[in-house]
Amino acid sequence: MTGSFRAEVPNHFNLPRRIQRLGELAYNLWWTWEKDTQRMFASIDRDLWERTYHNPVQFLRQVKRTRLNAVTHDRHFLETYDDVMEAFDNYMAADDTWFIQNHPDLINSPIAYFSTEFGLHETLPIYAGGLGVLSGDHIKEASDLGMPLVAIGFIYTHGYFSQHITEDGWQEARYVQLHFDELPVAPILDAEDKPVTISVELPGREVQARLWEIHVGRVPLYLLDTNVDGNSEADRQLTARLYSSDLDLRISQELILGVGGVRALRVMGYNPSVWHMNEGHSAFLALERAREMVAGGATFEEAIERVKKNDVFTTHTPVPAGNDEFPTWLMDKYFSTKWTELGLDREEFMDIARRQLSWGETFSMPVLALKLSDQRNGVSELHGEVAREMWNFLWPDRKTEDVPIDHITNGVHTGTWLARRMRNLFSEYLEVGWREHLDDPNVWEKIVDIPDNELWDVRRHLKRKLVAYLIERTRNQWLCEGVHPVQVVASGALLDPYALTIGFARRFATYKRANLVLRDFDRLLNLVNDPHRPVQIIFAGKAHPADEPGKLLIQDVYRKVKQAESGGRLVFVEDYDMNLARYLVQGVDVWLNTPRRPNEASGTSGQKAALNGALNFSVLDGWWREGYNGRNGWAIGADEDYDDHNRQDAEDGLSLYKILEDEIIPLYYGNRTPDGVPSDWCERVKECIRTLAPRFSMRRMVKEYVENLYIPAINNAAAKTAEE
């Protein structure tokens, strides 16, 4: 980083001296995955901690001085404080991280990681779903491993929407204005305390973007924001929201991310050795890098050859229609002054990423990314196969299996998603230091030593916590929002903490088939309302505001949920976010996933559930096709794809009911010890954690990115330089 620019962490808390460093902690998201730190904040004032939605910046600004004074005289609190601060200092100063031990020569070779969304914590609504949570988990793990990674994204002034469901099941989107001074983000300022900005040329004007920084443990995340003086009113709104369907807005955002992101890194003094595009939205970065080289005297061909060497591209989209493509007429508008800077004419420029689609000729962001990076991957084994087939046309003389797109299966960040009580249980039975070896299957062998009753105690505790939380949310809605009584029932007021509980929570895209389990509604109601062996299902998820079929799907589910016949045992919880996700993946017994194969590139929520001992019950798509071993959960349908959607839905539906009736319900309610512990169920839970926790950890995943993508990229670039 250049000396003159700095992230100015506001010091606007008036904290007692003895606990002054709470202010510093608040501004490093390390607390989002250190559960003891969150508990420490909460212990100062539990109600306020909930009211501020677990945001320590807002919390410390609002907490009463009397509460702060009280804890400075509380020996127990001070002990915790000193322990937490020591752990934080040790973490930040560690010089024996995995990366330093394994790649000491590369510690000064920054890896730049670009993503449109980062899911780090519920107080920062700058993510929409799985892609964002994956990016957030990726950079947290990069911090844990001590990698020299720097991340680039957007801070959206309105964030992603919060979801409200009307009595008739229609999704309404509410946007709130984020107040950056109440969030753990720090402005980047120059020597004169002025915001540091970069600029990007858009048709007829230069748009400025300022920079903010979030400290994610040891990793800096720089966020771009066009809401600055000097920009037109419309341009100030360019980074207001995620994923607009307006093409001008979208291409402008992607130019700011790709081109502006490169410039932001330059301004901050970085010269990255690897450029990772997480999905194609940031692919313009490759053109900006090429432009820099052409400006330095290279030809476009030479520039491309160099750029490719250390660009890395991860694709997440298994359906052609889901990819980001811009009509060429739109490209004319945005690039007609730019291709000359690359030394190209229009046709040569369009050729870089031209793709003929049924509706016209486009410039395709994934094609751009695939052609301008030598390291490419999908996010599960099956998705790798699908991607090779889908992009085979870019390598017409190769057989499908030789298309150069590899795969690295997704994982989840253990510290973020593992419940504290479950972590404590693991600490009792796994080796000391197990958290340093999360991806080592041997470490997890000892799971079998956990006594069933202790495991069951924690599982039941987590389910009670989930149910209590949902009832409390429902009570607040009833109290404050004047909802219709039927919505009180539909939100979970009648949930039972002892019934077999199934969770289905994810984005409501139609391919995820949220209503597959409702297909034969009478058959389902029979199971749900069995007085001796009741089953309850908790649904949650947002549809993109422009996705009408997705919103209709929510409505279909909601209308069934709210029927009296479902007995309050079918529930739809509004406003799925990382907070609700944590409660659900930790608290339910079974995690249901019913994508229409092979559309689920990987999926990660089931991995979070598995880590906490919730059993997956899922179509053999994405990660579950690799994780399922016959004993650690259940598979819906067969290991095959169908051309006929109706047949696929019918067969998967039948398979789902059969397994639920013949296997899941009997296993849960049957064979109980005198203390009521279901031994066979517990055995399956242990098999689930033992086999899945190490393999689908973010630790395993990020190490694979380092070894299989980042290091080859660095070596290829070095070889290329040597050759020149």
Q: Take residue 721 and report the two structure tokens written for it.
A: 């330089």
Q: Could you write out the DSSP letters of every residue in 178-196? A: --GGGTT-EEEE-TTSPBP
State in angstroms the smallest separation of the CB of 508 from ligand PLP. 11
Tell me whether residue 370 or residue 578 sits nearer to ligand PLP (CB atom). Answer: 578
24: DSSP letter: H
Tell me whether residue 136 or residue 637 sits nearer to ligand PLP (CB atom). Answer: 136
Q: Which of residues 284-323 bind ligand PLP (CB under 6 A)?
A: none
604 binds ligand PLP (CB under 6 A): yes
State in angstroms the smallest separation of the CB of 159 from ligand PLP. 13
State in angstroms the smallest separation of the CB of 607 from ligand PLP. 8
Q: Are 15 and 60 in contact (CB under 8 A)?
A: yes
Q: Take residue 642 and report the two structure tokens written for it.
A: 């169908």
Tell me whether residue 127 or residue 339 sits nearer to ligand PLP (CB atom). Answer: 127
Q: Which of residues 581-600 bind ligand PLP (CB under 6 A)?
A: 581
Of positions 578, 677, 702, 714, contacts ligand PLP by CB under 6 A: 578
Tell me whether residue 238 or residue 573 sits nearer to ligand PLP (CB atom). Answer: 573
Tell me whether residue 156 or residue 284 sits nearer to ligand PLP (CB atom). Answer: 156
577 binds ligand PLP (CB under 6 A): yes
Query: What does the alpha-carbon distance between residue 132 and residue 316 come to, in Å, rounded to a whole number?
Result: 12
State in angstroms the smallest separation of the CB of 651 from ligand PLP. 22
Q: In DSSP terms, which residues pair with 201 in a beta bridge?
A: 206
Total binding residues toward ligand PLP, as defined by CB under 6 A: 12
Name the one residue in this structure whose structure tokens are 């443990």: 217
- The dihedral sign for the CA sequence 645, 648, 654, 655: negative
524 binds ligand PLP (CB under 6 A): no
Query: What does the alpha-carbon distance between residue 259 and residue 265 come to, in Å, rounded to a whole number?
Result: 10
Interaxial angle between packed helices 698-705 and 130-144, expressed in degrees from 0 to 180 and rounded to the nearest 10 = 80
State in angstroms the smallest separation of the CB of 557 from ligand PLP. 15
Query: What does the alpha-carbon distance between residue 203 and residue 210 come to, in Å, rounded to a whole number?
Result: 19
b/e map 666-697, b = 16+ CB within 10 Å: ebbbeeeeeeebbeebbebbbbbbbbbbbbbb
703 binds ligand PLP (CB under 6 A): no
State in angstroms the smallest separation of the CB of 637 from ligand PLP. 17
Query: What does the alpha-carbon distance between residue 353 and residue 344 come to, in Å, rounded to a whole number?
Result: 14
Q: Are 591 and 585 in contact (CB under 8 A)?
A: yes
Residue from 271, 268, 314 nearest 292 by CA? 271
CA angle centred on 263, ends 258 and 264, rounded to 5°: 95
The span of 250-258, 527-535, 604-612, 651-659 binding ligand PLP (CB under 6 A) equals 604-612
Q: Are 620 and 634 in contact (CB under 8 A)?
A: no
Tell me whether residue 308 or residue 597 sits nearer to ligand PLP (CB atom). Answer: 597
Q: Take residue 472 and report the two structure tokens written for it.
A: 């409390």
540 binds ligand PLP (CB under 6 A): no
The span of 45-53, 491-499, 603-611, 714-722 binding ligand PLP (CB under 6 A) equals 603-611
605 binds ligand PLP (CB under 6 A): yes
Q: In DSSP terms, which residues pair with 267 in a beta bridge?
A: none
Q: Take residue 117 and report the two structure tokens written for it.
A: 């969304």
Q: Which of residues 88-147 bind ligand PLP (CB under 6 A)?
A: 129-130, 133
Query: What does the alpha-carbon distance between residue 684 and residue 682 come to, in Å, rounded to a whole number?
Result: 5
Which strand (E) or helix (H) includes residue 211?
A: strand 205-216
Q: Take residue 582 and report the two structure tokens written for it.
A: 């944590």
At 201, phi and psi to the nearest 5? -80, 125
State in angstroms the smallest separation of the CB of 606 from ligand PLP. 7
Query: What does the alpha-carbon distance between residue 381 and residue 406 come to, in Å, rounded to a whole number?
Result: 8
Tell me whether residue 258 or residue 598 sits nearer to ligand PLP (CB atom). Answer: 598
Query: What does the alpha-carbon distance between residue 682 and residue 673 come to, in Å, rounded to a whole number?
Result: 11
Three-state secondary structure call for residue 282: helix
State in angstroms the smallest separation of the CB of 311 from ligand PLP. 26
State in angstroms the smallest separation of the CB of 573 from ligand PLP. 12
At 663, phi and psi to the nearest 5? -120, -55
Of positions 506, 544, 625, 690, contacts ligand PLP by CB under 6 A: 506
State in angstroms the smallest separation of the CB of 82 from ligand PLP. 33
603 binds ligand PLP (CB under 6 A): yes
Tell me whether residue 178 or residue 581 sits nearer to ligand PLP (CB atom). Answer: 581
511 binds ligand PLP (CB under 6 A): no
Tell me whether residue 88 or residue 576 sits nearer to ligand PLP (CB atom). Answer: 576
State in angstroms the smallest separation of the CB of 615 from ligand PLP. 15
State in angstroms the smallest separation of the CB of 123 from ligand PLP. 13
State in angstroms the smallest separation of the CB of 632 from ligand PLP. 17
463 binds ligand PLP (CB under 6 A): no
The span of 73-81, 242-250, 436-444, 577-585 binding ligand PLP (CB under 6 A) equals 577-585
Q: Which of residues 547-576 bind ligand PLP (CB under 6 A)?
A: 576
CA angle centred on 288, ends 282 and 294, rounded to 5°: 155
Site residues for ligand PLP per CB under 6 A: 129-130, 133, 506, 576-578, 581, 603-605, 608
